[in-house]
Amino acid sequence: MNKVSLESVKTHFKQWNRDMDVMEFQTSSATVHQAADTIGVIPARIAKTLSFRGAEETAILIVAAGDAKIDNKKFRQKFGFKARMLTPDEVLEQTGHAIGGVCPFGLKNNLEVYLDVSMKRFETLYPACGSSNSAIELSKDELFQFSFAREWIDVCKGWEEGEKPTKVMQQIEG
């Protein structure tokens, strides 16, 4: 568990008086499925942060729905280079967060953050908060604002565009 990383995220949220909204859990929320089980939502509502090598020496972060996967062709069309994920050591060096707690908040370096449209089908999402047992519930607009995202992009596959949660899923969640 990375206490320094968690504290940097809480400090980040203080500017909007949202630091007290960071949830800390007794169980791990390091993977999409662990986070979904811990929070009690479908995996798609977990906003996962993926770290890639940028065109320069710095990383770029893409936040996507928990059920989405990077589409290499779309990624290359958008950024002009191949999608290459960072190693766990590089992620920690670039973001200040260890794998399992990576998020676009309280970053060690000033990195470009992009939000994938796979998340737009939900009112609220749950990104990690710097540790493997934390999260915060944010609206799409708050996620965009608080992450200082550059733009919404479409670089993922494996999720159904326009898919609304079914009544059964809404009952499970609610």
Q: Which helix (H) or strand (E) holds 123?
A: none
Contacts with 84 (C-beta within 8 Å, 6 or more apart), sequence order: 52, 53
Which domains can be identified in the chain, with CATH numbers? 3-173 (3.90.960.10)
Q: Is the pLDDT of residue 169 over 80?
A: no
User: For residues 125 and 119, is the Cβ–Cβ distance under 8 A?
Assistant: yes
Decide: 3 and 10 in contact? Cβ < 8 Å: no
What is the number of other CB atoms lying within 10 angstroms of the CB of residue 79? 18
Q: Note the residue count of the chain.
A: 174
Q: Are 154 and 121 in contact (CB under 8 A)?
A: no
- CA of 174: how far to CAs of 21, 102, 167, in Å? 19, 27, 10
Q: What is the mean pLDDT of residues 6-27?
A: 95
How much is the pLDDT for 164? 52
What's the whole-model pTM score?
Answer: 0.89
